Structure 1
């Protein structure tokens, strides 16, 4: 991790009017056309004439890396395309999904974005990347909307061309902090990365809302093969030696399982310490693999963006998987990435349907979303609507329109709802100290 440059995402002004932004984007489009599509006469993100029966989008995510991997997101996007095309497409137009592997690498993420421009995609839909500073410039230059990102970076909640469907890590951690307000000492184990730097103040905002002191911030390598030292130190700083349970919060993505192996070995001397984390780091498969009711997650609070995977509101997504991806073990209906991709494509479909027989382009989709389109997701989220400045603009998240989270708990080895309905973290986030 030596030599890593720590920078914050560049915030694009959210106050640009749509007409002013068009002028800026058209200039960027000309540059992109000259550099990527020499001699082209096609505006990136345009399907062509209104009679064109193909809409091209892209979904990207890291795959086969040593850190966080989300192969289910592009795999589900392809399944969705097969499903929607079998039903006649969107407004009679065929959906063409391109996929890209960002390799958890800034250069590869930028390459995915440049390919999106070159391939004239209408939108990037339901994707994951930690490298917003690398991919947003190309998308913004070409006017391509980023719809339903995973919420892995602050830039997804600031760019005027970003349309997030969940509250990302900010909402998850704020909600988790509120749930842990009655805990003893709380230690956060998080990646020693730029993205990881954003996590402590968000968790602390929830703790503070419940009258709890700030967490102990403990950095760890994102791609380590063992965390024995970190686990021992976390247990030592969290333990009270009494019945007053302390809580360790691992937020290491795919490496949570590796950390928990070390944690379980070291925990014997600290039985009063429990764990809590956010969905995406832990799901039912992970709970089963770590011992179920006798494992380290028993009794843990876990915050998620959406209802539990067993909720009937997911039946539509499960039908797509059953009909078009049965046996594809990359696609787990309980995976928050797959769920986010389903919701993102649900939003995209409604945006395109709102255009009727008109041209489907990056600009027309953006206009539909910016002009007050209200999108419903069958109760998986509140009704979604994006403005240039929303409730959380004052704390640096002008595009964060869904701050709802669900609170879940592991009981007898099963991940179940701990509280009915959603918890709105808007007020907690408004009080977060994110200007570090």
Structure 2
């Protein structure tokens, strides 16, 4: 590993509070949680699991890969969550009585450095790479798979290897939440629906069009939105013309500009957007205009019971939870990934290695994360689904809404949108 990357990794191992500037550039990046200020996490549960015996033996070494130092978007919330989980679980006896040791590898938004992270995982005998997000997983997954190291629990798989490699075990479900937006708009009684897709997220269009066709409708217009603009007034006017509802696949930073124009337009159209993007940050200053807007996501809100321990861990970590967005795909997804890793690792009889963990994950048919996601079956590929998405095990969505600019849970049960994504009505 080059000197800069190794130094960054060492810093991340003992990471506590780092606030870095961020301008989100793409949908997935912002949904994973930007470094923009966000609403505070809910208060932790009154009681947390009690401390257990000190972990013993050799530590279980895992890695989390993300972007920390780059000119563009960074994901400090992913790194912080990984370290918070490490400290939380070690204070409660570790995993199978062993200490968890997390290395956060900063790929610096560089595919060559991402490959270096993969090689370090191999050289350091990592058990798995857990809860990561990077645009360069294609530089990682094939490298680690040669040593049976799994790519485990990704919130936002976007590359071919993530979505097809037998060593990839995704917990997130991109682009299913966009399908969920369409389903919800139709079920809410929308009669004329336009779609707004930020440029670079066109991969979302086919499953969205499959869904609306299966529901007996079609989009009045599909508008490709430039990712950066001073004003979106003309696009808002286009989106709301002859439409009572708009489904918007927009990242957080452009959503700020979009919602400003949305409020200025005076439209009474209903808006649907993605978790982590249509949120309290992007709604600030447009609270009245966005009131009642629907949010489709992969995970329940951070304030709900499934994430009670996450709230405790964040509180114990001393992190400033108002500085970064932890109620996002990156924050929630990383926590869910580590919980899943722990559950599977503790089923292993004998040594916990990359190979034994892969075998255990590959035979896990009932991974129950207590409501963070539906119960997952890693033994069944999605062979009759979207082509190239066979390792998408979670294909359900959950909904929240904006209430005077604050995100509040709307539904507690997951909606499976597998059939809609392929163009078949339920």
TM bin (shorter chain): 0.7 to 0.9
1:349 is aligned to 2:342: yes
Q: Which structure 1 segments of 5+ residues have no match?
A: 1-50
Residue from 416, 421, 426 that aligns with 1:424: 416
Residue from 303, 328, 333 that aligns with 1:340: 333
Which deviations, in whole Å up to 9, do the C-alpha atoms of 1:304-339 show, x marking residues without a partner? 112222212211111111223443656644222111
Structure-2 residue corresponding to 1:405: 397
Residue from 189, 192, 198 that aligns with 2:197: 189
Cα drift, residue 171 of structure 1: 1.1
Structure-1 residue corresponding to 2:235: 234
> Which one has more relative contact order, counting CA pairs under 8 Å at least 6 apart?
2
- SS at 1:276 equivalent: strand
- SS at 1:99 equivalent: strand
- SS at 2:171 equivalent: coil
Cα drift, residue 73 of structure 1: 1.0
Relative to structure 1, the CA distance from residue 298 to residue 391 in structure 2 (aligned partners, 3 Å threshold; closer, same or farther) is farther
Relative to structure 1, the CA distance from residue 173 to residue 392 in structure 2 (aligned partners, 3 Å threshold; closer, same or farther) is farther
Cα drift, residue 126 of structure 1: 0.6
Distance 2:373 2:166 in 1: 21
1:396 is aligned to 2:393: no
User: Is this contact kept in 1: 2:191–2:244, CA < 8 A?
Assistant: yes
Cα drift, residue 263 of structure 1: 4.8
1:258 is aligned to 2:254: yes
1:149 is aligned to 2:135: no
How many residues are matched?
365
User: Is this contact kept in 1: 2:197–2:248, CA < 8 A?
Assistant: yes
Cα RMSD, aligned residues only:
2.6
Which deviations, in whole Å up to 9, do the C-alpha atoms of 1:347-385 show, x marking residues without a partner? 1111111113x1111110000011235221112222222
Cα drift, residue 290 of structure 1: 3.7
Runs of 4+ that moved beyond 6 A: none
Distance 1:277 1:104 in 2: 26
1:164 is aligned to 2:164: no
Structure with bigger gyration radius: 1
1:83 is aligned to 2:88: yes
Cα drift, residue 250 of structure 1: 3.8
Matches within 5 A, 1:37-56: 52-56=57-61
Distance 1:213 1:66 in 2: 39
1:299 is aligned to 2:305: no
Relative to structure 1, the CA distance from residue 418 to residue 337 in structure 2 (aligned partners, 3 Å threshold; closer, same or farther) is same
TM-score by length of 1: 0.76
Distance 1:113 1:251 in 2: 31
User: Is this contact kept in 2: 1:143–1:362, CA < 8 A?
Assistant: yes
